[in-house]
Amino acid sequence: MLTYVTRFTVTAAFSCIATTVGAQTPGAAAPAAPVSVVVAKPTYTTIPLEIAVDRPAADVWARIGKYCAISEWLPIAKGCTMLSGVEGEVGSVRSIANEVLVGKSEFSYTYTQTPREGRPYNLYHGTLEVRPVTPKTSKIVYTLMYDNSMLPDDAAREKDKASRTAMFTGAINNMKILAEGGTLPPK
């Protein structure tokens, strides 16, 4: 038994040495350096949106506040499923951009998109909230925050923000329709 362990240990050691020496052979390609996802000089921007709703906050939240309800009111978010965790629990991950639920309250949640290999991380976060206004009315507040510094210039940043603003304005309009008992037109 002792001989086997010794032979195995010696064989494993030579294997590691051979692999290390082989990796340093002249003319061998060096492994690619990892690309950092860190952005050196971020410029954060926010998109705050809100819309009045003719329903109590609890009713609005019950209709539009589930974490995967996004697939109903955001046209590009089709087929949301939970990748891990439980619907509505902090730490759960939905299939839409692998977004992680990072915070919640009675009538709100905040999510983030995680870093991805080889792409600058823009720290994208969104908060969906329903605020009571009166006992019978409320408002939906949707706030996006992200770093737009990786875009080439001010014109590109303005175009990106306008595009996101239009998309999420459509989303809160859809949420209002649903919360007030209406139906959305077919996609």
Residue type, 13: A
Q: Any idea where the domains of the chain sit in the sequence?
A: 44-179
Of 129, 131, 132, the closest CA to residue 143 belongs to 129
Is the pLDDT at 134 greater than 50? The verdict is yes
- Number of neighbouring beta carbons within 10 Å of residue 63: 19
CA dist., res. 61 & res. 118, Å (int): 37
Note the pLDDT tens digit of each residue in 57-102: 999 999 999 999 999 999 888 889 999 999 999 999 999 999 999 9
Q: Choose the CATH number for 44-179 among 3.40.720.10, 2.60.40.1930, 3.30.530.20, 3.40.640.10.
A: 3.30.530.20
Note the pLDDT tens digit of each residue in 149-167: 999 999 999 999 999 999 9
Note the pLDDT tens digit of each residue in 1-53: 443 333 333 334 434 434 444 445 556 666 666 667 777 888 999 999 999 99
Which pair of tokens denotes residue 187?
């996609």
Distant-in-sequence, close-in-space partners of 112: CB < 8 Å, separation ≥ 6: 99, 100, 102, 123, 124, 125, 126
> Any idea how long the chain is?
187
Q: Three-state secondary structure along 43-74? A: CEEEEEEEEEECCCHHHHHHHHCCHHHHHHHC
Identify the H or E element spanning 82.
strand 82-84
